[in-house]
Structure 1
């Protein structure tokens, strides 16, 4: 057997081979053999794979094969969880295939793999249960992953039946009838009645309910790089409100992702999230904001986010991994999305459909994906998706939001309205600002170049705190412009000779800093406050500074209500910086970035007389512009199909429309701010209507 395996190893591109068999005499162990080139295996990496399968390694005998190269045979003697040899048959192939898949990175290694040795399930079928478990963790964290694994293993036959029901419902080759699916469903219910543990019953029933809520999957699409489910959100057990209409969950051994949408026609950005445990909660909050933001366009709100399961330490490797997993996300969604061919809806191949026609799917740039539009559109072209390069707005053949400065300019329509009501003309009257962000960013950079009258007293990002107690508006404006046009600039690149006395640039990694008297005065820090502060404490004070404008052009939630806890905010990284709305002394707030305030934090701030709208009002110009772009591309695409226009002509015509698009978008923002301002004046006259509304809601 070893000779045959070594001969087969020569043709294995991965450089390893797994064999398995039972001893016929002696101690009676199951032998798991790893045939490997390029040196010995790291036992600390391999033995956990066996243990995750429920196997106990009794011994390991390494043998070096003579000849060229470093070929080894690692011979493991193992027993199952009962202390017995494995009952090898089909199980032998399943075990060896699982080990190979884990070693190659195609499958994950966790205790759910015990099902491979306890049932007839192979590693791909266990992968379906694992993806369902991962999704359940994003919906409800009531049980830990390991506790859920134990429940599925303890009730192995129910777990096996769940997979068989999934296959009956979605395998296009099997094409099971509704009656066959229902027969399996009834057998699962019968088995669940025999489960004595309430927790295990809840875990298994939630898995069953989730399978019922799934309407599409790419599980049977050849060559897929991930496993994706499309779910009708309202039918998912324990689903927190508000319910999206649909969501797509994408899972692989390298990433996870979620895409939530509020309607059949919806649009919103895709972000790379660093909130690995609760990224769905983050995306849900953003989708809620997007729904309101999209009031100025036809599509409803949507939002997507993905996380990396492995985060490389090297910056270049990290960028490559983010891009790779972004593509995995796009593929996972397009695998199960309908296409339009000559005006006819065409369902994706190898996908059973349990919902109606659904061909509209668009994405956009967001946090961590600002340069990925061309990448997404390349995937769209590969799939022959009907939207082509309208799938992801922006990119090389779209409107460059940073170049247009559209999001910041839209937010300034709100800011100008607020200032106009207190007698300040931002184009002629100097005013003081505290900002969140840095000049290399789109929304912050463009926002701080909107008018030369800005006196930027303080700004911060994740690296630095910039303080200029008494800035010269003209000189500081030109220096900010220089930073904006310098790729990769930070506040540390600011010309120190242009900073007023007592100012400077603080490193946020510093243990403590001592602010000058002018800096303390500019930030409104009391005399009894400590002389030495941490950078986080300085930022906390800056958010409370008595300035004219607080401009949010960054990422994070920095203001909450007094009766809200930090855990309710869901942004642990900024807990030390955060203030209550009542503590913000800026006269006006401009929300160029998302989620800078909690909604209750806005109410808290407005209650003190502060002037604020919301993020989805202030920064709606970005999505408005993207929607114009997509609609222009769809319209001109019809002319291209008829041979009346070439792609170069389309691109030129689209750019010619840029000025008109910007004008339309900014007028939308102007009108939104105007209407809200008028409603504030009239609201006191409508108390009876509000009382009626509250009674209806109750």
Structure 2
């Protein structure tokens, strides 16, 4: 090899003989790549690092790297050689002698690290690299260490990366031992590990003792606890991204707030991500976050919101998200897709597949958790078009869920085309207008909005009624104002704009169709001149404002409805700071809840209000639920899609159905699924309205509910949901003494979660009676065709439990569980069965639908009173069952066989004798005519079976007893009485039991008193005649009670009930 003579002469004084030739080893390495490196020690014991490459090494890049690795550079020389006709650039560095022994020991790892960092960086260039020398860590081990730091930085926001790095370097021996614990725990090549792991854990604990600084101790202990809580990792699969799965709730003592049960962290040089689940069966979307510092906090908050939202569906709450460490402007679509796919693939490494009904763990995964096969994702912010990509990965991996893995793809339900989230949100807020008697499809409704017409939720939402008068709207970059819109013209223009997507921003709105004085303005404008019409609309005398001031003024406009279909938190409580809220992008335009002038709020988007803001607005008289209540239709639809696909998937695998036929079958159910989802939004908003009225009458059961949830559900805490202690409960009550809707919405969701979990812990979901509700989950036509597949659905127990919990709590209210402490788990499940039996026996559902059908025709308050009558009757019947029937006697088939007999009895009364409850509704009228007597139906069944008398006779006897002893009127007085304290609650309950006793006891006495040839009614007449004195006392007491026109004293009802009971104690035989 020739050396450039001129260059050699200049370098002669600094180059050595061995610098002039490429070693054979380096020649071989450079044959296949563009970089090589070696350490050389000379005769004097000096150590040199030599770098070889086909491109020049820049000192500004190399020297900081070597410094971070821990190499002290005393001198440097760069020169060129020629090899095979190519220039080879060489840099030689003399290494200081501070750590020569460690450097020599780690030289293989150092060279590999330098090559990675200079040629294909996969590690940050930070002082942590010196762990290569300090503990001879490989680049792969360094990558793991960075992953642990990355996770801890998100796990404990008080720590930052620099602090964590500094501590791990300072205590490098402990750091190395932590990595050894990780290796012992998860290296699949190890045959024995338990004893070594225990010893290593003890060693780490001992090594921590000398550390005196609390922060340093916490930094190391958090990583230690993370590894202990870790149950899987793909580290030994040698993939592009490192993922590990932790049972984070095991670390609860070290972390603030409610934590996920299962958490997967994914670390990559270019991105980091997290996925959180409240349980093994959970679901939620994946979002591309822009909160680099605290994306885990954002995802955890959204997961908790999802947990509440998922109360209506089968899985619990989950959420995933990732950040990309590249500017969005320079990130092309394919690179984004690669990062997303890498993230998804890593998540799937952390779960099991299902093959022939058995869980199969991926190769090279050592797991410490139970089987984990149910794993689904969904689109969210920034990933709306990625479902097909996710499903491709699932199919490529042969994951058992196939394209049910990511809902909403090209072979699933398109939420924007269905408009499902917006429809559900409007259906929820429609409850407000029903209560006001305003039909939003016929009467103009003034609206202010958050969002734009190219958005799914806002765009679809503003097209649901042509009577919406959209006065103004704000999007992420524009402000739209139409001071006096023509409803039809503006509706048609919104429709055009929506269909013109993506050019659906407000700037594309036809200016000729905006009313006089209106316009479209940018959110970054310094000054905007205000027309007289705008000044009138925003109630301001100012002639100009900045865009930020105008946006705030728009949010303060007086209107019927605020429809949020956008992104961002625009409303906080007056006592909250912007720091409490987060969302810096909207910090300068955010307003307080007390400034709102709208009558109702519809939250089609997430996190538009803080929870304290909702509570404050509701206390001031505004109608608002929760984002988790209003916009739940999207997740509900996705869950239907997944469960339909799973059902059909078993047929596809058996070859009985091809993929196209399956997709067609799915599409045919779209309308039915949409209807069911929208009914859920209807029921939940109605349930909150009913519970609000219950809380106005009697707050104690609600306080009992809160106490039960806080004790029994780890995921529920008063602090998390801004629910004060009982002595300060007025903070969440409105002027009528009722609990505000946002709090009731929270309690509604978590009561359902509690009841669902309680049912799942029992054997009830496996019973044939519960399987009825499994089938009821699916659209009727689908269930009829695919019943066999539904009955073997992997989530059949969960589906049945979810349907049951939803139906009961929607109807009976959240206080259904308030006697849990008294009943216990087993009896609570019996109560659930009792409710379902009585509800079916009485045919209550059909009547509820008839009542709902009369929305806008019948006053809402009248509808509510009818619904309360149904629930009071059911509660009375259930109470009797719980006291008098052991669990094994609460047998659905045995009791429900009386359904036709009961229906026949209800048809007996002549039409003219039936009181008119609702004009023109004979079915409703007949039902409510008989409803008071239905309270004792179960008692009649038991008496009939016990005494071997015909059921019809027994039922008619009890009907006569109820009528003759004024039972309905006494019960009505008792039910309407509002207890003033807990003692009166107990008395009220006991009085109800005495009334039950009086009716059943007297009826049974009459059965035995009946003489030959007498009918039951004649036997009752004879009995009362023989008890004439006490019967007359009762009649007189009742007349006196009626003259008082009700009572405000429980004692007066108690005296009347006592007189009633005396008759049953009479023994005229």
Please confirm whether the aligned pair reaches a TM-score higher than 0.5, indicating the same fold.
yes
Indicate whether 1:220 and 2:240 are aligned. Answer: no
Residues 399 and 626, structure 1, Cα contact 8 Å, conserved in 2: yes
Contact (CA 8 Å) 1:169, 1:176: kept in 2 or not? no
Corresponding residue number in structure 1 for 2:38: 19
Any unmatched runs of 5+ in structure 1? none
Residue of structure 2 aligned with 1:259, choices 271, 275, 285: 275
The corresponding residue for 2:629 is: 617
> 2:386 is matched with which residue?
372
Partners of 2:524 and 2:35 in 1: how far apart? 46
Provide the residue aligned with 1:583 in structure 2.
Answer: 595
By how many angstroms is 1:295 displaced?
A: 1.3
| Aligned pairs for 1:193-342 within 5 A | 193-222=209-238, 224-236=239-251, 238-314=254-330, 317-342=331-356
Q: Determine the structure 1 residue equivalent to 2:580.
A: 568
The 1-side partners of 2:400 and 2:434 are apart by: 46
1:492 aligned onto 2:492: no
Contact 1:21 1:88 in 2 (8 A): no
Other-structure match for 1:93: 108
**1:409 CA drift (Å):** 0.4
1:548 aligns with 2:565: no
1:166 aligned residue: 182
After superposition, give the CA deviation of every residue in 1:238-257 in whole Å (9 maximum; x if it has no partner). Answer: 22221211111111111111
Larger Cα Rg: Structure 1 or Structure 2? 2
Is the 8 Å Cα contact of residues 186 and 365 (structure 2) preserved in structure 1? yes
- Does the 8 A contact of 1:168 with 1:175 survive in 2? no
* Alpha-carbon contact 1:270-1:363 (below 8 Å) kept: yes
Q: 1:23 to 1:605 in 2, by over 3 A?
A: farther
Q: 1:44 to 1:344 in 2, by over 3 A?
A: same
* Contact 2:76-2:94 at 8 Å conserved across structures: no
Query: Could you list the runs of 5+ residues in structure 2 that have no partner in the other structure?
Result: 1-20, 711-724, 726-1069
Q: Aligned in 2, Cα 1:474/1:348: closer, same or farther, shift over 3 Å?
A: same
1 or 2, which has the higher helix percentage? 2
With over 3 angstroms needed to count, the CA separation of the structure-2 counterparts of 1:610 and 1:70, relative to structure 1, is farther
Partner of 1:601: 613
147, 156, 160: which is aligned to 1:140?
156
Change (3 A) 1:501 1:95: same
For residues 219-268 of structure 1, give each alpha carbon's deviation from its aligned partner in whole angstroms, at most 9, with x where no partner exists.
Answer: 1114x121111101112262222121111111111111111111111111
1:491-518, CA deviations, whole angstroms, 9 ceiling, x for partnerless residues? 1111111111211111223222222221
Given candidates 391, 401, 404, the residue that maps to 1:390 is: 404
Report SS of the residue matched to 2:437: coil
Task: Return 686-695 or 110-119, whichever deviates more.
Answer: 686-695
Aligned residue for 2:78, secondary structure, equals strand
**Is residue 130 from structure 1 mapped to residue 150 from structure 2 by the alignment?**
no
Instruction: Report the Cα offset of residue 634 of structure 1.
Output: 0.5
Q: 1:204 to 1:454 in 2, by over 3 A?
A: same
Match of 2:48 among 30, 34, 38: 30
**1:338-372 CA distances to partner (integer Å, 9 max, x unpaired)?**
01001111111101010111111100000000000
Size of the aligned set, in residue pairs, is 687
- Contact kept in structure 2, 1:550 and 1:589, CA below 8 Å: yes
- 3-state DSSP class of the match of 1:40? coil
C-alpha deviation, 1:60, in angstroms: 3.5
Partner SS, residue 684 of structure 1:
helix
> Which deviates further from its counterpart, 625-634 or 176-185?
176-185
Q: TM-score, normalised by structure 2?
A: 0.62
Q: Measured at CA, do residues 491 and 48 of structure 1 come closer, stay the same or move farther in structure 2, by a change above 3 Å?
A: farther
* 2:362 aligned to which of 334, 342, 348: 348
Q: Which range moved further: 15-24 or 102-111?
A: 15-24
User: Which residue number in structure 1 is paired with residue 206 of structure 2?
Assistant: 190
Aligned residue for 1:230, secondary structure, equals: strand
Task: Give the deviation of 1:105 after TM superposition.
Answer: 2.3
Deviation at 1:586, TM superposition (A): 1.1
Question: CA separation of 1:439/1:197 partners in 2, compared to 1, >3 Å: closer, same or farther?
Answer: same
- On the 8 A contact 2:535/2:543 being kept in 1, the answer is no
Q: Is the 8 A contact 1:417 1:673 kept in 2?
A: yes
Counterpart for residue 668 of structure 1: 680
Aligned to 1:8: 28
Q: How far apart are the structure 2 equivalents of 1:279 and 1:122? A: 29
User: Quick one: distance in 2 between partners of 1:410 and 1:371?
Assistant: 22
Q: How far is 1:631 from its partner?
A: 0.6
What's the TM-score once normalised by structure 1's chain length? 0.94
1:512-566, Cα deviation, whole Å (9 max, x unpaired):
22222211222x2422xx5432222221111111111111111111111111111
Q: CA deviation at 1:195?
A: 2.8
Query: Once the two structures are superposed, what CA deviation does each residue of 1:376-399 show, in whole Å capped at 9, x if it has no partner?
Result: 001111111100100000111000
Is 189-198 or 335-344 further displaced after alignment?
189-198
CA spacing shift, 1:532–1:238, aligned 2, 3 Å: farther
Deviation at 1:177, TM superposition (A): 2.2
Change (3 A) 1:344 1:84: closer
Structure 1 counterpart of 2:1059: none
1:599 & 1:88 partners in 2: Cα distance?
Answer: 56
- Partner SS, residue 421 of structure 1: helix
1:640-660 CA-to-partner distances (Å, cap 9, x unmatched) read 111111111101111111111
Deviation per CA, 1:575-631: give whole Å up to 9, x if none: 111111111111111101111111111001111111111100001100110011001
Alignment correspondent of 1:559:
571
Q: 1:4 to 1:472 in 2, by over 3 A?
A: farther
CA shift in 2, pair 1:324/1:363, >3 Å = same
* TM superposition shift of 1:135: 0.9
1:32, distance to aligned residue in structure 2 (A): 4.0
C-alpha distance in structure 2 between counterparts of 1:650 and 1:596, whole Å: 38
Q: Tell whether 2:67 aligns with 1:51.
A: yes
| Structure 2 residue corresponding to 1:459, chosen from 469, 473, 476 | 473
Measure, in 2, the Cα distance between the counterparts of 1:531 and 1:196.
64
C-alpha contact (below 8 Å) 1:139/1:240 kept by paired residues:
no
Shift of 1:305: 0.7
Which residue in 1 is equivalent to 2:662?
A: 650
Do the aligned partners of 2:57 and 2:91 also contact (CA within 8 Å) in 1? Answer: no
Q: Any conservation in 2 of the 1:53–1:111 contact (CA below 8 Å)?
A: yes
Distance 2:644 2:22 in 1: 64
Distance 1:511 1:86, change over 3 A: farther
2: CA distance, partners of 1:431 / 1:280: 40
Could you tell me how far apart the structure 1 residues matched to 2:179 and 2:630 are? 47
Q: Secondary structure at the residue paired with 2:351? A: coil
3-state SS in 2 of match to 1:151: helix
Question: 68-77 or 398-407: which moved more?
Answer: 68-77
SS in 2 for 1:313: helix
Deviation of the 1:156 alpha carbon:
1.0
Alignment partners' CA distance in 2, 1:463 and 1:70? 55
1:539 matched to which residue of 2? 551
**Residue 54 of structure 1, CA deviation:** 2.2
After TM superposition, the runs of 4+ consecutive aligned structure 1 residues lying more than 6 A away are 67-70
The residue that corresponds to 1:634 in the other structure is: 646
Distance in 2, matches of 1:478 and 1:56, equals 73
Q: Secondary structure at the match of 2:378?
A: coil
Contact 1:381 1:389 in 2 (8 A): yes
* Distance in 1 (alpha carbons) for counterparts of 2:222 and 2:599: 49
SS of the counterpart of 1:440? coil
CA distance in structure 2 between the aligned counterparts of 1:695 and 1:620, rounded to whole angstroms: 26
Distance in 1 (alpha carbons) for counterparts of 2:555 and 2:72: 57
Paired with 1:536 and 1:549, the residues of 2 have a C-alpha distance of: 21
- Alignment pair present for 1:520 and 2:535: yes
SS of the residue corresponding to residue 44 of structure 1 reads: helix
Larger strand proportion of the pair: 1
